Structure 1
Amino acid sequence: MRRRHHFHIDHAGHSVSATVETGRTAVVAVLVDGKETGHATTHHDHPVTVHVELPTDPPTTASIRTTPGPGLPRCLFETPTTPPHIMSPRPY
């Protein structure tokens, strides 16, 4: 059975959201300021990392490390200059 889980964080004035669709194949989509900037797939509960850029001057590279399971998915937001931050789950 497939389920969608949503995560969010604000960083450097930008909105970063991740949607994790679980199931036999997990699909991760990342939006920065409402625009899809990255996606990845993985099988079962294998972790996956999605690399994106934040539209700062100069652009900031970031990565979202997603663990689809077991249990509820988890997302970590990382940039080269900051420690990893846990992305907050959203109920919608």
Structure 2
Amino acid sequence: MRARHHFHIEYRGHSVSATVQTGHHPVVEILVDGKETGHATGRNDRPVSVPVELPTEPPTAVVVRATPGPGVPRCLLLGPEDEEGHVMAPRVY
């Protein structure tokens, strides 16, 4: 069964949102400041990493790592100098 889960974080002055659609082939979509900047499809409950750039000067490369399951999905934002990442908060729509 497919379900959509939303996550959000403010990072370096930018809004980063993720939508994780669970199911046999999970889909992850990333928005930066309201614009779609990346998406990826996964397989089963394996983590999916989506590289995106923040519109800074120079651009900042970050990675959103979504774990679709088992259980409730989770998202982390990994910045250029972050080893553990930042937990993206679940968001209800």
The bucket for the TM-score relative to the shorter chain is over 0.9
The number of aligned residues is 92
**What is the match of residue 56 of structure 2?**
56
2:90 paired residue number: 89
Question: How far is the alpha carbon of 1:81 from its aligned partner?
Answer: 2.2
Structure 2 residue aligned with 1:43:
43
Gaps of 5+ in 2: none
* Deviation for aligned residue 1:24: 1.0
What pairs up with 1:7-18 in 2 under 5 angstroms?
7-18=7-18
Tell me the TM-score normalised to structure 1 length. 0.96
TM-score (norm 2): 0.95
Mapped to 1, the partners of 2:9 and 2:82 lie a distance apart of 14
Structural RMSD (CA): 0.8
Regions of 4+ moved over 2 Å:
none
The structure with more strand, counted as a fraction of residues? 1
The one-letter amino acid of 1:8's match is: H
Q: Distance in 2 between matches of 1:25 and 1:81?
A: 30
User: Following the alignment from structure 1 to structure 2, what is the Cα–Cα distance between the partners of residues 76 and 9?
Assistant: 9
Write the letter of the residue equivalent to 1:73.
P
Q: Secondary structure at the match of 1:82?
A: coil
- 1:24 partner SS: coil
Aligned partners of 1:60 and 1:21: how far apart in 2? Answer: 26
Q: Secondary structure at the match of 1:43?
A: coil
